[in-house]
Amino acid sequence: MATDPIYYFDFGSPNAYLAHRVLPGIEQRTGVRFRYVPVLLGGLFKLTGNQAPMLAFATIPHKLAYERLEMERFITRHGLNAFQMNPHFPVNTLQLMRLAVAASADDVLSAYAEAMFHFMWEEPRKLDDPAVIAATLMEAGLPADRLMARAQEPEIKAALLANTQAAYEHGAFGIPSFMVGDALYFGKDRLADIEAAITGQQAA
């Protein structure tokens, strides 16, 4: 029996947000549920020697301009007009991703992910400020005190490191990354391929 596809994510990636907004359509059409797995993008970069595009292509302005153009095309294609670039970008997401692991352990990851993607990329806030994070959790109706406490537990911190290591071992080098069976897919622009792989797996 086929397992549900994995979505490796970090809130600090605008492309992770854009993918997050498109995944429900794939889920509706295919009947699968993506398993959201929090990883630390900075940790993944360290493991692979990768860099954010703004650093990797800093000396190639045409490449950066094209990356922005592709993002604009994706936003237009999928009608994602709520997107706003976060003025605090890049945001240190260590606490946010530990909280994501804590939210998963508390069975509220779906609500947590929706809130944090919204307040990172639709109604942008400085989500590496602990006071802002706590206020945002409360506003979203999430158990702020419990999650903030759990995020500091050694096992939660270790789980985030383990998730990041697992993504690396599956071949991931950036975010968003996906696993359909044993196959890795990178980037929001592979979502059509991911959907085709899911339907092919179902037909097998």
Mean of the per-residue pLDDT values for the chain?
95
According to the model, what pLDDT value does residue 203 have?
Answer: 82
Query: What's the whole-number mean pLDDT along residues 145-172?
Result: 97
Q: Do the domain assignments include residue 24?
A: yes
According to the model, what pLDDT value does residue 193 have?
Answer: 97
In the chain, % of residues over pLDDT 90:
88
In the chain, which ranges are continuous DSSP H helix?
14-30, 41-48, 53-56, 61-78, 94-105, 109-121, 130-139, 144-150, 154-169, 191-203
- Does the pLDDT of residue 204 top 80, yes or no? no
According to the model, what pLDDT value does residue 55 have?
Answer: 80
Res. 36 pLDDT band, cuts 50 70 90: very high
Res. 2 pLDDT band, cuts 50 70 90: low
Q: Do the domain assignments include residue 53?
A: yes
Q: Do the domain assignments include residue 1?
A: no
List all residues 6 or more positions away from 54 whose beta carbon is below 8 Å from its beta carbon: 64
Res. 30 pLDDT band, cuts 50 70 90: very high
Query: What's the whole-number mean pLDDT along residues 167-174?
Result: 97
- Does the pLDDT of residue 1 top 60, yes or no? no
Name the residue among 2, 8, 14, 197 with its Cα closest to residue 121. Answer: 14
Q: Do the domain assignments include residue 142?
A: yes
| Segment holding 152, helix H or strand E | none
Question: Which amino acid appears at position 166 of this protein?
Answer: A
Asked if 83 and 13 touch (Cβ cutoff 8 Å), the reply is: no
Beta bridge partners of 69: none
According to the model, what pLDDT value does residue 202 have?
Answer: 83
Q: Residue 184 maps to which CATH number?
A: 3.40.30.10
Q: Do the domain assignments include residue 68?
A: yes
Domain that residue 10 falls in: 6-203
Strands 35-38 and 6-9: parallel
Asked if 160 and 37 touch (Cβ cutoff 8 Å), the reply is: no
Sheet of 177-180: strand order equals: 35-38, 6-9, 177-180, 183-186
Residues 45-102: pLDDT tens digits? 999 988 887 787 888 889 989 999 999 999 999 999 999 999 999 999 999 999 999 9
Overall number of domains in the chain: 1
Per-residue b/e over 58-84, b at no fewer than 16 CB within 10 Å? Answer: eeeeeeeeeeeeebeebbeebebeebe
Cα separation, 2 vs 18, in Å, equals 26
Per-residue b/e over 106-121, b at no fewer than 16 CB within 10 Å? Answer: eebbeebbebbbbbbb
Res. 128 pLDDT band, cuts 50 70 90: very high
